[in-house]
Structure 1
Amino acid sequence: MTTSTERRSAPRDVWRLVATREITVKLRDRGFLLSTVFTIVAIIASLAISGFVSARTETVDIAITGDSADQVVATANRLAEAADKNVTFNTHPARDEAAVRQQVNAESADVGLVPTQPGGWRLVGKSERDDDAATYLTAAAQAIAFEQNARAAGTSTEELGRGGSVAYDLLDPAAIDPGLAKVVAFVFAFLFYLGSLLFGMSIAQSVVEEKQNRIVEILASAIPLRQLLIGKVVGNTVMAFVQLVLFAGAGLIGLAATGRGDQVAQIGGAAGWFVVFFVVGFLAQASLWAVAGSLATRNEDLQSTATPLSMLIMIVLFAGIFLSGTARVVASYIPVVSIVAMPSRMAEGTAAWWEPILSLIVMAVATYGIVIVAEKIYRRSLMQTQARLSMRQALALRD
């Protein structure tokens, strides 16, 4: 039988063998490979669909009556085109206002445009306002009236509008739009949830299966338990890193393919920081998932021992999606939550250059402390196969 002295004399880098085994098992897992490919395809497809929907021109059918209605609609189309708005107004002539209302009520037209006395226009809708029609038809009617009134007064629209122009300077023209920033934050939160749960539960199940099958007793006689834990953590962290890089790359390629290449640089920087934060934070999570497995004696126990971790992952998921403003700033310095919060702030352009560095240092310090405590609990509980343990019970045990 191998003595403890012989076990302690095992190579200090034996964890590499364990890590290699963990990576090999993952690469041979068809379910893991298929889920990775499916997620990459889903990311690219969702971005392609989003780009198609945003680029698609919306058609608004306008039922019109009156001599100048065609001119109003034509002007509205020019204004929409100048504003780079993907909307086109099509006209459906009607003999009078009653016919216009009939078309709108029958839903053969989205909006009706009828003249009013002594001058002006009225829009008619069925049950809700069409914002595009209200914006551009109103602006068109005002522009036409402005030009006509200027002509009647013997002047020009340029003279009447002199001194009224307003320029708009952007202090940060490279910033992405708020809508896309929210999508990026959601993607970061979802990828955190997916990676943490997928790889974390894999570690816990691997540990508890080794305990249940008594394989851990054989491993413990040949490998120091600390080395066994390091190998499991490193192996799964490497695979999580590779998977996240693939997902981030797919997202950036999808953005570039949908005509958002000008925003790839900023989002790419935020995605890079997200991968770094995730890897550092996952070292702590992986250690805790290994502890969850070591406290259990069978797979059924994992539901109890892994509950705190599952709750933590859900909290981070919802924090990444719903937090904003000051709450998100605070969250970006809280370890684990900062994995999602800080990169999301970087994507929306609200974080200074030094903030992710400081947040990462805080995360690294917290990770170091968590790994030290987790390793102690893991070593003390791994060989206890009689009954499920709590963390307090495991800490009370002697090495």
Structure 2
Amino acid sequence: MRAVVFENYGRFPSLKDVPKPEPGPGEVLLRVAGAGACHSDISVYRHFREGQPGAQKPPFVLGHENSGWVEALGEGVSERVEVGGAYLVYGPTGCGHCRRCARGQDTYCENAATMPYMAVGLGRDGGMAEYMTVPAHHLVPLGDADPVEAAPLSDAGLTPYHAIKEALPHLEGGGRHALVIGLGGLGQIGVQILRALTGATVVATDIKEEARAEAESYGAITVGAGERQVEQIREATGGRGVDAAFDFVGATPTITTAAAVMAQGGRLTVVGIAGGTHQFSFFTNPYESYVTSTYWGALGELWEVVDMYRAGQIRPEVERFSMDEALEAYRKLEEGKVFGRAVVVPGGV
């Protein structure tokens, strides 16, 4: 079968023929419907080096945002998993035995340091291929929903959902404001989730005019970049500041912008992994506000994301690529020419 393979650190991935996998005990064989291309993949093959925290040892098949149809069941898999059924794949893969994994929080596995991989497509073969194997309990049924459009939800939907859900106490009540920084695939869905789950006024900011226009179509007030960015965000809140901010970039300038517009008692969640830092001062930080981070989300939360998708509350913006065009999808992603989420469709677009 054909697959997009990360072969070595610092090297662009290859499209090549690899053996079709066989499901082991507790696993299923999935015929891939769609696999999302994520900026995290670029970090994997461009920026990480052997021994660096977060580095995943090559070679392996990329793709941690996946959906597909179950083709075969491995030993011991319940018949409740429907052969031929469409499913979304929960990507994080923990030890399966610690307290965190028992709660479906594989992202925070207590034994992560001893695991040979982080997730499907991140150390373990992922879904940028015609077929993949998946732990059966990591499947979320899609019913009659379009599995190709749904594929990015396993990260670009789940990651903002978890971050927003953790911040909901800060957005309860009237007169609340939320800030979204970075209107790529995650940020656009984040705006939609905030509009669906809260009554807060959503302020969103991005350099790209077309991204801001998209966010406005979902009900956000938008602000461009530039010298007056902080001032304009504060103006949108009546001068009080935002109660919850979500930085989907995570660079030092974006974190600094978010910190400059926080209200007292607010929560700034850094979701993006651009490696930015934040300087704390007792006299400049609003009282009882804090900066935190989240990573991906829990398995049970992915079920809730799918419920929102099937109810029409969230919709990912998808650009489809055939398997022949998979490497072009990554090139366009690196060049900033993908609007929304690039999804590779092995069966053809």
Please tell me whether Structure 1 or Structure 2 has the larger radius of gyration of its CA atoms.
1
TM-score for the superposition, normalised by structure 1: 0.23
TM-score (norm. length: structure 2): 0.25
Which of the pair is proportionally richer in helix?
Answer: 1
Higher strand proportion (structure 1 or 2): 2
